[in-house]
Amino acid sequence: MTELEKMLEEARLKMAPLKSKYPRVFSKLAYIECEEGWFPLIEDLSANIELYISQHIPLELQDQIHYEQIKQKFGGLRVHMNNFIDRIQGSIMMAESISFRMCEKCGEKATRYNIRNWITTLCPLHYQQALEKKS
């Protein structure tokens, strides 16, 4: 296995519990491009989206609404769906704004930092670790 294959395999394993709990929204997603501190946020979001789909989307269309990409951008969570649905976008915006106050690594209360042009949201502990790692 190459280094990249190892990373992708690790990312798939990390996502597996979420994917098995919410198979419909995760059906087309191979991996999540952020760290595990935000996974509880993604879990709540997925529960909200699944509930909305099951209550408001006709059965024959339900499996056509899924995540396109979940990643970290400018220190915040970014979630892209394959379809734009107002109410779902509202839940996504809420999760994205909460992520700016949550450590991407552990979920603790966090601040947004710029570490050598990498914008990241970290708690004091993980900020220290990130500084030490990069210098």
Q: Which residue ranges make up the site for Zn ion (CB under 5 A)?
A: 103, 105-106, 108, 123, 126
Smaller CB distance to Zn ion: residue 51 or 125?
125
- Secondary structure (DSSP) of 33-65: BS-GGGHHHHHHHHHHHHHHHHHHS-GGGGGG-
Smaller CB distance to Zn ion: residue 91 or 121?
121
From the CB of 118, what's the least distance to Zn ion, in Å?
16
Round the CA-based radius of gyration of the chain to a whole number and report it.
16
From the CB of 95, what's the least distance to Zn ion, in Å?
18
From the CB of 128, what's the least distance to Zn ion, in Å?
10
d(CA 7, CA 84): 30
